[in-house]
Structure 1
Amino acid sequence: MTVSLIISTYNWPEALELVLLSVMKQSIAPDQVIIADDGSGLRTANLIKSFKGRLPVEHVWHEDNGFQKTLILNKALKICTSDYIIEIDGDIILHKHFIKDHLAAAQKGYFVQGSRAMIGEQLTKKALGSKRLNFNFLTRGMTTRFNAIRFPLLSFLFKTDPCSSHNVKGCNLAFWLDDYVRINGYFNGFTGWGWEDYEFAERLINSGVKKKRLKWAAVGFHIFHPLSSRANFKPNERIYKETVENKMWRRSPGFREVAFYKSA
């Protein structure tokens, strides 16, 4: 089984650098790293270039036209060469066994939600300055200390509803490429932040793919940042509710409607 790591980013190269440095520290390396870049400037492009030769990294970019995360993810997946996808945001520092844990949990017929621990604002400032990569539940400045525990042998103790799309977060999510293509990927009709992850998960579930939740495994450490604009929260929620009410498992425009994209 091969694995591609998809990293969405927008104009925060300082955070993306820490993420990529943490990818280099993985106990099991990804076969492919794709940066899904939602319109960042040259500083991000130059940072990504500096990692070529150190990581199997490819850069997929489009012009900045507001928050278009679903569109850039679909473009990034067009160049994916692996069977299995792990999706993270460009502000998630990975535990050194992050990919190892995800691969251990990979199972046909399931998508997997990993664990997210929150780094507090003051610790974030220090980490960005010092390029710190190592965090755990004892680290001062963690705001969700419980989620920072890695103890995969006890992960089975935490149960979740396998048919619920609630609390699905694309910042730490894994799925099979075949499942992604079958449901036509993310829906490009979303504008701005909100509900795109829930809606994607709902269609996976409606297509017969169940949710698996990892706790104390596949830990990602989320770098603090101010909340994104919620201006389109309600319109995006209506899209999600439409998918739920009509038990939709495929929507357009999505993955199929995006032309094949050549990486930068």
Structure 2
Amino acid sequence: MRISVAVITYNWPAALEMVLHALVAQSELPYEVIVTDDGSQPATRELLERMAKDYPVRLVHLWQPDDGARMSRARNRAIAAAQGDYIILLDGDMVAERHFIADHRAFARYGCFAQGSRVLTDAGLTRRMLEQGLIMPGFFSRGIERRRHTLRLPALARWYAKPGTKRRGIKSCNMAFWRDDLLRVNGFNEAMTGWGREDTELAARAFHAGLLRRDLRFSAQATHLYHHTRKHVVGNPNDLIVDDTRARQLIRCELGLDQHLAEFAEAPVDLRLARRDHAATQSS
């Protein structure tokens, strides 16, 4: 099983650097890391080109123009480009614990998607993490919420991972699907722009397609770096799309993943190879 990690980012290269370092400090490496970029300034590309020099797995950068928050489109492009058959969705401010990839692999089951959890940090701890490098909070660390999510307990994790259809707590910041299942439901709904609910709508269609959810508690842990977040507001147009999807029991969205498949019929460039080719050209 090849695992692709699709990391979505927007204009926070310091956080992204820590996320990318964590993904290659794993007990088991993924096949590739795809950074899907919702319109960042050049500093993000410059970071990736520097990191590509020593990165041990395929590293891909997909960029789209900054035209408002288009997370669904960015994630769909990563799914279309992925060379793995199992895709972990991860936000660019989520720092993975060292068994993150191995745990996702252990709990991958056909007919299911996986919903991970996260430890929340405050501004002070996030600042220290960014200044001091790859440090992970423990159960007794200051500056965290959801403290229980620091604990990795394999036996208890297996109990929580019983397949079901729970709708609460859907978050694409740490979530995983078989690529074929995402193709079947046509990925994220790109009619949903702006803040929130695109992951909830995707999960609703996954349930309608017969998929079950496995909760990854006490496993596949990640720490969320603090930043100001928008709260859910009444009247969000995306809520209406979620309601319509549920009411009509939709499985596929109209504006989704399939529109990007032709673009990535050939695998996108691995930044490690692009760097070597550039160096060879410069020396010739």
TM-score category, normalised to shorter length: over 0.9
Shift, 1:135, TM fit: 2.1
Question: Does structure 1 residue 260 correspond to structure 2 residue 263?
Answer: yes
CA contact (8 A) 1:93 1:221 kept: yes
SS of the equivalent of 1:15 reads helix
The residue number in structure 2 matching 1:180 is 182
Amino acid at match of 1:92: M
Length, aligned pairs only: 264
Flag the 1:159–1:179 CA change in 2: closer, same or farther, 3 A: closer
Once the two structures are superposed, residues 144-203 of structure 1 have per-residue CA deviations (whole angstroms, 9 ceiling, x without a partner) of 211111112211343777123321110000110000001100000012011100001111
SS of the equivalent of 1:112 reads strand
- Give me the whole-angstrom Cα distance separating, in 2, the residues matched to 1:220 and 1:36: 19
1:11-160 alignment runs, 5 A limit:
11-53=11-53, 54=55, 55-158=57-160
CA contact (8 A) 2:204 2:245 kept: yes
CA contact (8 A) 2:26 2:101 kept: yes
CA contact (8 A) 1:51 1:57 kept: no
- The structure in which a higher percent of residues are helix is 2
- Give me the whole-angstrom Cα distance separating, in 2, the residues matched to 1:158 and 1:107: 14
Amino acid at match of 1:214: L
Shift, 1:75, TM fit: 1.1
Q: Comparing 190-199 with 156-165, which one deviates more in the overlay?
A: 156-165
Output the TM-score relative to the length of structure 1: 0.95
CA contact (8 A) 2:72 2:193 kept: no
Output the TM-score relative to the length of structure 2: 0.88
1:161-176 alignment runs, 5 A limit:
162-176=164-178
Percentage of matched positions with identical amino acids: 34
- Give me the whole-angstrom Cα distance separating, in 1, the residues matched to 2:173 and 2:6: 10
- Give me the whole-angstrom Cα distance separating, in 1, the residues matched to 2:63 and 2:234: 23
CA contact (8 A) 2:161 2:217 kept: no
SS of the equivalent of 1:256 reads helix
Amino acid at match of 1:260: E
Once the two structures are superposed, residues 223-257 of structure 1 have per-residue CA deviations (whole angstroms, 9 ceiling, x without a partner) of 01101375796210110111111111101110012
CA contact (8 A) 2:112 2:163 kept: no
Shift, 1:39, TM fit: 0.3
SS of the equivalent of 1:221 reads strand
**What root-mean-square deviation, in Å, do the aligned CA atoms of Structure 1 and Structure 2 show?**
1.7
SS of the equivalent of 2:75 reads helix
Question: Does structure 1 residue 207 correspond to structure 2 residue 209?
Answer: yes
SS of the equivalent of 1:115 reads coil
Amino acid at match of 2:21: L
Flag the 1:33–1:232 CA change in 2: closer, same or farther, 3 A: farther
Gaps of 5+ in 2: 272-284
CA contact (8 A) 1:191 1:232 kept: no
Gaps of 5+ in 1: none
